[in-house]
Amino acid sequence: MFLEVIGATGAAPVKPDPRAVMHRIDPIFGQGRRDDALMVGDTGADMAFARAIGVASCWVSYGYGRPEDLRRLQPTLTAASLRDVAAHALETKAPT
């Protein structure tokens, strides 16, 4: 279901800095595949990163972010459970 989970390591840029795409995402998935990506997160930095790199966002409401702050950021999707995240992922276009 998930091709990769990417975390902050080393000195490369981190979210919400869009340069993180060049250092962490493009080497794994290649360039130009943004329509296949879904940024799943629970903070404003996660939603800002999704917007900065042009991908859909899924706010997990069971995480650390404050609901009133995250709703203002207008995520593409909202998930109340890991099951919801899986359902959203399955609904997205599969990579080719």
Q: How far apart are the C-alpha atoms of 18 and 15, rounded to whole Å?
A: 7
Instruction: Give me the architecture of the 20-91 domain, per CATH.
Output: 3-Layer(aba) Sandwich (3.40)
Per-residue pLDDT tens digits for 33-76:
677 788 899 999 999 999 988 889 999 999 888 889 888 999 99
pTM for this prediction: 0.76
Per-residue pLDDT tens digits for 25-44:
777 777 766 777 888 999 99
